[in-house]
Amino acid sequence: MNRLLLIPVILLARFLVFLLRITGKGSGTALPGLLVSRYAPFAFKALISQIPRIVVITGTNGKTTTQTMLSAILNQMDGFTVLRNQAGANLRQGIISQLLREANLLGQLKFTHAIFEVEEATLPQIAQLLRPEIITVTNLYRDQLDAYGETDITERLIRDGIAQCPLAQVVVNGDDPRTSRLTKTLDNITYYTSLPQSYSADIPYEGETQVTEQISNNILRASHIHINPNLTSDVTVQGVMEQQTIDPIQVNVASPGFFHIYNALSAITMAKLL
C-alpha cells in the first residue's frame, strides 16, 4: 500500500489530539485510534508492518510491570529502538493511537522493536495484524475478570489469540494452572517461569498450583528469594533455554511484592529470546 495514504490520517489524528487537549476533553489517548480504526482501517496494518519485531504481553495482572521491565532491558542494548504503548491503552484503538502518535508526518515508524500490553479479550481481535514474535501471558485470576465473566472465557480468548500466531514463541507462568496449559494443544514453542512451591502455593491460582520440576527445558526459575523490608526482592535466576543452561544471575526486583518476581522472570526470558 502507498504509504502516502497515511499522511492525511496522521494529520487528522494529530489535529484531534490537539483539539481534545485545548478543549479539555481528554488527552486523546484512544479517540484518534477509534476513528481511524473505523474510517481508515488500512492504517493499522500499514503502520504496524514497519516494526520488524513485536512482543505482546497479556494476562490479568502484571502486564504494565512486565512491559516496563522488558523495555528497560532492551533500551540498554545497542541497536534497539523500542516502542511501547501507554499503560491502560491496551485496546485496539489505544494501540492504533500510539502508532499514530509515534509516526512522523510521512507515516514512518523508526523502531526495531515494539512491546505491546494487550487486554485479554482484544488479543484474538488483533493477533494476526500484530504478528508477534513473542506472546507472554502473565497469569489468569478470577478476581480481576469481572469484565468478561468466568476465567474459562478469558482463557479461551487468549488461546484463540495464540492459535492465530503459530510461529510465535509463548512465555507463560508455569505455576499457574491456567496459563501453563494454554499451548498444550498448539504447536507454539513455550517457555515457562516458576517460583519455589513455598511461595507459589500462597498465590490464589484458579486451580491447583502446577509442579514444574518435571520441566527440564525452556524454563527460568527463581531461587534463594530474599524479601527486603521495603517488599522489593533479591533473587537468583537460573534455568535452561533451548537446551542451553542459563548460569545463575542475581536480580533485584524493584517492584514491591514477590509476585513481581514472575514478571521479572518473564522479562528476562523475552530479552534472551530477542
Neighbours of 63 (CB within 10 A): 25
With contact defined as beta carbons under 8 Å apart, do 118 and 56 qualify? yes
CA dihedral 149, 54, 219, 118 (to 10 degrees): -20
Neighbour-count burial of 23, counting CB atoms closer than 10 A to its CB (0-12 exposed, 13-18 middle, 19+ buried): exposed
The pLDDT of residue 208 is 65
Look at 87-96, 201-210, 240-249 and tell me which has the smallest mean pLDDT. 201-210
pLDDT at 239 over 80: yes
The pLDDT of residue 161 is 98
Residues 67-86: tens digit of each pLDDT: 999 999 999 999 999 999 98
The reply to whether 164 falls in a domain is yes
The reply to whether 98 falls in a domain is yes
The reply to whether 38 falls in a domain is no
The pLDDT of residue 16 is 81
The pLDDT of residue 6 is 87
Distance CA 212, CA 221 (A): 9
Q: What is the mean pLDDT of residues 127-156?
A: 83
Residues 6+ apart with CB under 8 A from 69: 263, 264, 266, 267
- What is the rounded radius of gyration, in angstroms, for the C-alpha atoms of the chain? 19
The reply to whether 134 falls in a domain is yes
Question: What residues pair up with 192 in beta bridges, in sequence order?
Answer: 172, 219
With contact defined as beta carbons under 8 Å apart, do 170 and 181 qualify? no
Residues 53-64: tens digit of each pLDDT: 999 999 989 999
CA dihedral 131, 136, 141, 146 (to 10 degrees): -30
The pLDDT of residue 215 is 84
List, in sequence order, every beta strand (DSSP E) within 21-133. Answer: 53-58, 82-84, 113-117
* Residue-number span of the structural domain to which 157 is assigned: 51-273
Q: What CATH number does the domain containing 189 carry?
A: 3.40.1190.10
The reply to whether 3 falls in a domain is no
Look at 11-20, 82-91, 177-186, 228-237 and tell me which has the smallest mean pLDDT. 11-20
Q: How many domains does the chain have?
A: 1
The pLDDT of residue 55 is 98
For residue 227, the one-letter residue type is I
The reply to whether 221 falls in a domain is yes
The reply to whether 28 falls in a domain is no
Q: What is the mean pLDDT of residues 93-117?
A: 93
Share of residues in the chain with pLDDT > 90 (%): 62
The reply to whether 56 falls in a domain is yes
The pLDDT of residue 223 is 92
Has this prediction a pTM greater than 0.75?
yes
Residues 168-191: tens digit of each pLDDT: 999 999 999 899 999 999 999 999
DSSP reduced 3-state for 12: helix
Residue-averaged pLDDT of the chain: 88
Residue 94 gets which letter from DSSP?
A: H
- Give the burial string for 115-148 (b: 16+ CB within 10 Å, else e): bbbbbbbbbbbbbebbbbbbbbbbbbbeeebeee
